[in-house]
């Protein structure tokens, strides 16, 4: 803050505060620019960290729906002696199914070419909406033997 000495070019004009200093209220442009720079730096660090945390939280929508679908597949197998390729057979409204919070589409296929749908399955959760930016885990998968996977850049254990 700047000080003003109260002296009006040597003219007192009856001012009793002549010679006394008083403060001028306000911020300088430099102080304001420093504050803006600090806020920008904090935002540059905080926003990506927040977005990463949100994506991690949304992954639970995919993993939980995959686990639920695997459980339903096992029940279907107990009743029909075969797995199914149609998610509607498991009680879902559509094929492919939509996860609880709608961040993933859940589909089913035979686990491998050598293991038909009658005895093996592979469930996949493909991200939709805002979750498509999750390149760390991308498409999540769960097979009939319990193998968990992901097609992203991170190890599958970090995605589950």
Domain ranges of the chain: 9-159
Mean pLDDT for the chain?
87
**Residues 142/126, Cβ–Cβ less than 8 Å:** no
pLDDT at site 48 = 87
Cα separation of 34 and 21, whole Å? 27
pLDDT at site 76 = 96
Report whether pLDDT(14) > 90. no
Report whether pLDDT(2) > 90. no
pLDDT at site 15 = 56
**Residues 141/126, Cβ–Cβ less than 8 Å:** no
Cα separation of 82 and 118, whole Å? 4
pLDDT at site 7 = 54
Cα separation of 69 and 52, whole Å? 26
């Amino acid at each position: 803050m700047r000080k003003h000495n109260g002296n009006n070019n040597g003219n007192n004009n009856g001012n009793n505060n002549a010679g006394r200093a008083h403060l001028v209220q306000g911020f300088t442009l430099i102080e304001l620019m420093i504050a803006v720079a600090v806020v920008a730096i904090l935002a540059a660090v905080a926003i990506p960290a927040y977005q990463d945390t949100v994506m991690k939280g949304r992954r639970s929508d995919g993993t939980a729906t995959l686990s639920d679908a695997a459980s339903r597949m096992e029940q279907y197998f107990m009743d029909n002696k075969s797995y199914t390729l149609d998610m509607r057979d498991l009680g879902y409204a559509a094929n492919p199914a939509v996860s609880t919070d709608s961040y993933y589409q859940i589909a089913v296929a035979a686990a491998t070419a050598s293991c038909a749908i009658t005895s093996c399955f592979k469930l996949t959760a493909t991200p939709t909406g805002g979750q498509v930016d999750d390149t760390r885990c991308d498409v999540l998968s769960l097979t009939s033997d319990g193998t968990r996977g992901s097609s992203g850049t991170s190890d599958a254990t970090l995605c589950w």
